[in-house]
Chain A
Amino acid sequence: MKIDPTKPVELKKQGQEQFKIRWEDGHVSIYPFRYLRQNCGCAGCRSEITGERLLNPETIPEDLKGLKVELVGNYALHFLFSDQHTTGIYPFKVLRQLCPCTECNSI
């Protein structure tokens, strides 16, 4: 079977600060919860029509925490943040693209 870089093999909530995903291709992604909140894709945070971010990332407090993480079916994660925002669904495919590490962000 082909290795799927968007398939998680390990999901770990590291306190209320960050979330770790290890992918099938071996890559490891660490997401601060504040970063995840800033990249929420729900219709309130991101325009359904243009895909443009409606949420101003500066408005998310520095000490934003991740309270709960849940699986959505087989394909996504769902978070409850300390600002009570909970409407975002984060598909694994999108999470992989969002990996904030230097390796994934170098051209």
Chain B
Amino acid sequence: MGIFSRKAESTISEAAVLNELRKIQDPDLHKDIVSLNFIKNLEIKGSEVNFDFVLTTPACPARDVMRDDAIRLVGSIPGVSAVNINMQAEVKSQPALSKNSIAGVKNIIAICSGKGGVGKSTVSTNLAAAMARSGAQVGLLDADIYGPTIPIMMGKVGSNIEARGNLLLPIETHGLKFMSMGLMAPGDKPLIWRGPMAHKALQQMLLGVEWGDLDYLFVDLPPGTGDVHLTLVQSISVTGAVLVSTPQDVVLTISMKTYRMFVETKVPILGIVENMSYYICPHCGSKDEIFGHGIVKDAAEKLEIPFLGEIPLDKAIREMSDRGSPVVLAAPESASAKAFEKILGNLAAQISIANFSSQPLQIVEE
């Protein structure tokens, strides 16, 4: 022991630890993690430094990098023998505004597209499943009354909806809570609904379902624009919208009408996803950009909206969907699953940015 043990016991100050941690910037919020209040419960026990690192979302894409930087920086303080970090997430949202929100639901994310057939529902299902797997409380509402395919993708076709008092109970599956307008019509019966019925049905799905406490509620909208979209943006404050597009869809500017509708109704555009971006040959593995190169990314740059990522045209996605299991859960090592995970990270970051920079609207009475 002797001199060496005395050196190890020289007190490590909280200020020294925080000064090191201040060197780490959140790459999306552009502020240091100490000013952002990410560091909590800092404890210095002898030569060990322990603290909680609280992120704004469990799906934070910079999570590992920031954690490793924290370990390295704090570890470089003289006398520190161990750095123990408890990574946590606390999803932020705008404070609930009684009638303009769903009690307990922190973020409402609309998934939309210009036209049908671009894979919007596949994207909704996989993003929701991936977000749930990252540790968040997630709900998925299939509001696509014209083509409700999510029950198939979740393996829940023909499920009965139960109620508790006045509220419908969502179905719990694949780690999330799920409800579909498609479950309202049994079997092959088409849902032929005029405006007012679709309006009432969506309001029931939003406000008459026992969603409980959710960090994120993904709402899969019908393609294009219409009654369902109007009802959504008028009934509640939507946190943001994600556009799903194929390269062809953008070229034909069809997705622009949907984009403009959200701009008009002041719903933040969280970004655009390019689906069917390229085909991977199952035999030789080569990548073929059938519909063109970087088309949606270029459009995103022109519109100054975030480009969230690309998803390949992959038979595995369709096969898993047909079997009722999202590819991110059924084949997590596949290229497609990884593409979804990457997009999820970017989306989670955009949601955090939108919440960070927005001022909640409230009516004050004098």
Contact = CB atoms under 8 A, between A and B. Distances in A.
Interface string B228-239: 000011111110
Interface string A52-69: 000000000000000001
B236 A73 contact: yes
A8 B361 CA distance: 8
Interface in A40-91: 69-76, 89
Given A12-B366, A13-B366, A14-B366, A71 B361 contact: yes
B364 interface: yes
A75 B266 contact: yes
A11 B267 contact: no
Nearest to B265: A75
B357 interface: yes
Interface of A: 1, 7-15, 69-76, 89, 92
A74 B366 contact: no
B363 interface: yes
A82 to B, nearest CB: 16
Given A1-B357, A92-B266, A73 B362 contact: no
Contacts of A11: 361-364
Contacts of B97: 71
25 contacts: A7-B266, A8-B361, A9-B359, A11-B361, A11-B362, A11-B363, A12-B366, A13-B363, A14-B366, A70-B99, A70-B363, A71-B100, A71-B237, A73-B233, A73-B236, A73-B238, A73-B266, A74-B238, A74-B265, A74-B267, A74-B361, A75-B233, A75-B266, A75-B267, A76-B234
Given A70-B363, A73-B234, 8 more contacts: A10-B364, A13-B363, A70-B100, A71-B97, A71-B237, A71-B361, A73-B100, A73-B265
B264 interface: yes
Contact of B363 (A12, A74, A75, A92): A12
B266 A13 contact: no
A89 B233 CA distance: 12
Contacts of B359: 9
B365 interface: yes
A74 B364 contact: no
Contacts of A14: 366
A27 to B, nearest CB: 17
A13 B363 CA distance: 7
Contacts of A13: 363-366
Task: Kindly name the residue among B234, B237, B238 whose own CB sees the greatest number of chain A CB atoms within 10 A.
Answer: B234
Contacts of A72: 100, 234
Contacts of A15: 366
Nearest to A15: B366
- State the 7 A-B residue pairs at the shortest beta-carbon distance, nearest first: A75-B266, A74-B266, A73-B233, A75-B265, A71-B100, A11-B363, A13-B365
